[in-house]
Structure 1
Amino acid sequence: MTYNIRPVKLTDSVELAEIYNYYILETTSSFEVDAITEIEMAQRIAEITEAYPYFVAEGEKGEIIGYCHAKPFGKTVGYQFSVEVTVYLKPNVKQKGVGTSLYQALEEQLQAQGIKTLIASVTAENHESILFHQKKGYQEAAHLKMIGYKFERWLDVIWLQKIFP
C-alpha cells in the first residue's frame, strides 16, 4: 500500500470528519455520540495545531485514509510535558502500517517539542488498539472501570502510557 504522511491542513476537515464520524456513530472508540460537521472538525484542527502536531495519511489518489494528533493531557501547567495521543484510520486500511507511520511522525515531533509522556485512552473492548499501542511501546498505566456510557452500556477505559527516555 502506498501512502504519504503530511501535516494536516484546515481544508482536510471534510475528510477527517467523515473518518471520525464513523467511529462516533458505529464504535465505542469515541465516547461522542453525535456526528460532527466539517466546521467543528476545522475548529478542532485549528485549536490543536496551535501547540501540537497533527498528521494525516494520504492514499495513492490523494484521499485521506487516516490521521493522528496530540492534545493536552491536563489543563494545568504541571501537565505541560504530557499529551494524549490518538489515531483514526479508515477501516479498510487497518493492519497495513498506516497507523504505525502516523505515530512515528507524531512521536518524532513530540520528542522534538520536549514532550515526555504520551497517554492513549482506549476503550477496554478495543483489543486491536490496545495491541497496536503495546507494540509501539505503550504500557497499561490504568484501568478505569465503567467510566464511559455509550450504546446503552457501561464501558471501561484503559490508559496506555509511553515515556520517552
Structure 2
Amino acid sequence: MSTKQENFCADLSEHPNILVRQYKDTDFQAIASIYNESIAAGNSTMDCQFYTAEDMKVLANKFGDRETILVAERESCVIGWGVIKRYSPRLGYRVCCEISIYFSLAETGKGYGSILQTALLKKVEEFCYHHVVAKILACNQGSIDFHKRFGFEVVGVQKEIGFFKGRWHDMVIMQLVLSHILPYRPEL
C-alpha cells in the first residue's frame, strides 16, 4: 500500500482566469451537459443514459456532510466539475472517499484538470478522508497518467466489469493514501 503523497499544488499563475468553487443550483445544467459529453464519448463513465439538470440536482441533494461537487469556471462559464463522495455508507469506510473529474471535451488537455484536482484533494483533506479511490476505465490512459501525477497508484483492474457500446470494459482501481490524515471520528 502506498503512502506516497504529492504536493497538491497546481500552478494557478498559468491559468489566472480559472476559478474553482462550490457548486450552486444554477450549475446543474452545465454539470449535466459536461457529464453527457463524457457518456457519449464512452471513455470515462459506465453510465449509458443522459442526465438532465434536475437529475444532477437530485443526486447532489442526497449528499452527506462530507460529499460535494466543485466546479471549474472560466469567464463565468462552468467548464468542468469534480465530485467527492463517500466510498461506502458502512461505518468502517468513513475514512475513504471516491473522487471523479469531468471536463467539457473542448477544455481537456489545457491544464485545468490539475487545478480542479488540487482543489478536490484539499477538500478531501478538509473532510478528513484518509484514503481516496479513483475508478477509471482502462481505455482512458490519459486519466490514469493524470492521477499518477497526483500520487495515485494502480491497485487493481476489474476485468470485464462493464458492457456498453457493444464491448466489455475493464476498470482500473487507483488509490491515494493520505498518511497524515488521522481517522475521522476515531471513537466509533
TM over 0.5: yes
How far is 1:109 from its partner?
A: 1.4
**Which residue is equivalent to 1:43?**
58
**Which residue is equivalent to 1:68?**
82
Which of structures 1 and 2 has the larger relative contact order (alpha carbons within 8 angstroms, sep 6+)? 2
**Greater alpha carbon shift after TM alignment, 47-56 vs 71-80:** 47-56
The number of residue pairs the alignment matches comes to 164
**Do 1:59 and 1:65's aligned partners in 2 also have CA atoms closer than 8 Å?**
yes
Q: Using the aligned pairs only, state the percent identity.
A: 27
How far is 1:49 from its partner?
A: 6.0
Runs of 4+ residues over 3 Å off in structure 1 = none
Which letter maps to 1:76?
A: R
Gaps of 5+ in 2: 1-14, 180-188
**Do 1:137 and 1:162's aligned partners in 2 also have CA atoms closer than 8 Å?**
yes
Task: Give runs of aligned pairs for residues 4-153 of structure 1, distance below 5 A.
Answer: 4-48=19-63, 50-60=65-75, 62-153=76-167
Within 1, Cα distance between the matches of 2:65 and 2:166? Answer: 36
Within 2, Cα distance between the matches of 1:22 and 1:48? Answer: 23
How far is 1:19 from its partner?
A: 0.3
SS at 1:34 equivalent: coil
Within 2, Cα distance between the matches of 1:97 and 1:55? Answer: 16
**Greater alpha carbon shift after TM alignment, 11-20 vs 68-77:** 68-77
SS at 2:63 equivalent: helix
CA RMSD after TM alignment: 1.2
State the TM-score, normalizing by the size of structure 1. 0.94
SS at 1:5 equivalent: strand
How far is 1:99 from its partner?
A: 1.1
SS at 1:80 equivalent: helix
**Do 1:146 and 1:156's aligned partners in 2 also have CA atoms closer than 8 Å?**
yes
The change in CA–CA distance for 1:57 and 1:26 in structure 2 (over 3 A counts) is: same
Which letter maps to 1:33?
A: C
Within 1, Cα distance between the matches of 2:51 and 2:65? Answer: 21
**Do 2:72 and 2:81's aligned partners in 1 also have CA atoms closer than 8 Å?**
yes
State the TM-score, normalizing by the size of structure 2. 0.83
